[in-house]
Structure 1
């Protein structure tokens, strides 16, 4: 049994925390939302009244936070995790943040004598609940080896992407591809419909042809073919437009810093930015389909 502090109990963190509890670990859970903490306690965690309370005696600290500034503040700000735990403690940050922020955090952890990995995830809330997430992990071998048994509880696929920050690099490149492919999938279904093909017929053909992709077969943006997809719940997320835009913005920032050409990524970022500007931040990112059909 490992003593774990879990910080950040939102849509993703809540399921991840619950799976660690199910596996028999002692988990102290903390979030700014008292309601989220109470729900974590109902699922087996020990409710923590503060960050300091959560990390007291922790061997491992796991976090799922909104942005890099939150990660740096929680771990290394005044009264943060690094001030309260023993050297050698393992930090596993599962947030999706800028590559540079992840590398800054890793440097600070190393200076303090801590082990740290950046371990962003793919798989959405369903994967978090089911323990089938994909983890893309950046950090030293020793830190990865220590983190992997816990990541295996929360996920089905755990990849060591290389040094610190490489987990974030993998995540934002993957999600840029996802954003682009979802827009293309929406446009293809819309075109097929305009030309007289119903969604199921086009799905049956394209899902076993060269246009096949995850956005089609697992998360189809056209209502009908994939019953579990948000398209069958009027595009209730799922993975919200605001979250996709955040990841695309991180990808554009990284592309600019590295000199990578990402023309389709730039177009995708602008499209999701426009949806936010029109008041659709909480729509599922596959809601591009609804917009193409004039439903927004």
Structure 2
């Protein structure tokens, strides 16, 4: 099976390497020379643009930033649609709103391709080990065609129905929780530091008690070591919480906590921290209150 993974970022690289390990003939596509060099060093085929992937590709997994990048990689000038085999499956894994997912599915079907609305979760570590969670919707034929890729990159595949847009909806709701959890984890750590608690002891207590969350445990561990290298960047949650607000507006549904969290991420981005790891939204409190964060180790 010929597979292409478009976007060799934190999760795309792991997914592409997982496809290689599964024995799939995999092309990794990324405009960055360094990303292509890393994938080539692992034995993969590389392409600098979507239009350069292998001719007759059977499945394309798109791990790009948003719907616009997904559409450009598929159908824009230099897109990969002309390189896909008839009946190929498109696995669209960027976080996007349900309306965009439905629109892209219709466009793919009109071009003769199968389409999975298939956002993912798990971060770089789960992507590297082939253990992402996929929340997908699409026709049974699309799931069947995509199965070798899904088996390679995921430990859990949620089949959420045959209508494109359901996967995107579930991912947007998931990102509401993820963004709010990160923001409140940073707020709690900042308050503790301001009040004079030892950050490491505070972390140890919370992670052993009922107030813990996966996001507190994961993100605040990086804050304790000053490790702001982006696994998931602040700007990702500016975008994703914007999708939450957009979906909620369309339903006339209030989302006050998500909206407040988005403002915190937006503030961090405006301060110049948009490409920092998302837990470093805590720098908003650093700027407002003068707390001293743990130094980089």
TM-score category (smaller protein): 0.7 to 0.9
1:66–1:208 CA distance, 2 compared to 1 (3 A)? same
In structure 2, the CA distance between the partners of 1:45 and 1:191, relative to structure 1 (3 Å rule), is same
Asked if the contact 2:234/2:265 (under 8 Å) is kept, the reply is yes
Alpha carbons 1:231, 1:286 under 8 Å: kept: no
List per-residue Cα deviations over 1:146-185 (Å, max 9, x = no partner).
3233223212222123321222222221122111112222
Distance 1:196 1:280 in 2: 25
The Cα of 1:52 is off from its aligned counterpart by 3.5
Change (3 A) 1:180 1:86: same
**So what's the TM-score if we normalise by structure 1?**
0.87
- Structure 1 residues 97 and 273: alpha-carbon distance in aligned structure 2, compared to 1, 3 A threshold: same
1:271 paired residue number: 264
Give the RMSD, CA atoms, in angstroms: 2.3
Q: 1:204 and 1:118, CA in 2 relative to 1: closer, same or farther beyond 3 A?
A: same
> Which moves more between the two structures, 111-120 or 149-158?
149-158
Query: Which residue of 250, 256, 261 corresponds with 2:243?
Result: 250
Check conservation: 2:49, 2:78, Cα contact below 8 A. no
User: Structure 2 length normalisation: TM-score?
Assistant: 0.87
Q: Distance in 1 between matches of 2:281 and 2:235?
A: 13
2:288 counterpart of 1:289: no
CA distance 1:267–1:59, shift in 2 (3 Å): same
In the alignment, which residue of structure 1 is the partner of 2:100? 101
Q: 1:60 to 1:278 in 2, by over 3 A?
A: same
Unaligned runs of 5+ in 1: none
Secondary structure at the aligned position of 2:73 is classed as helix
> Per the alignment, in what secondary structure is the counterpart of residue 131 of structure 1?
coil
Provide the C-alpha distance between the structure 1 equivalents of 2:106 and 2:19, rounded to a whole number of angstroms.
Answer: 27
Q: Deviations over 1:32-72 (max 9, x none)?
A: 22332232111121123653331401111111122211211
Match of 1:212 in 2: 212
Contact 2:237 2:278 in 1 (8 A): yes
Q: Secondary structure of the residue that 1:171 maps to in structure 2?
A: helix
Aligned residue for 1:134, secondary structure, equals strand
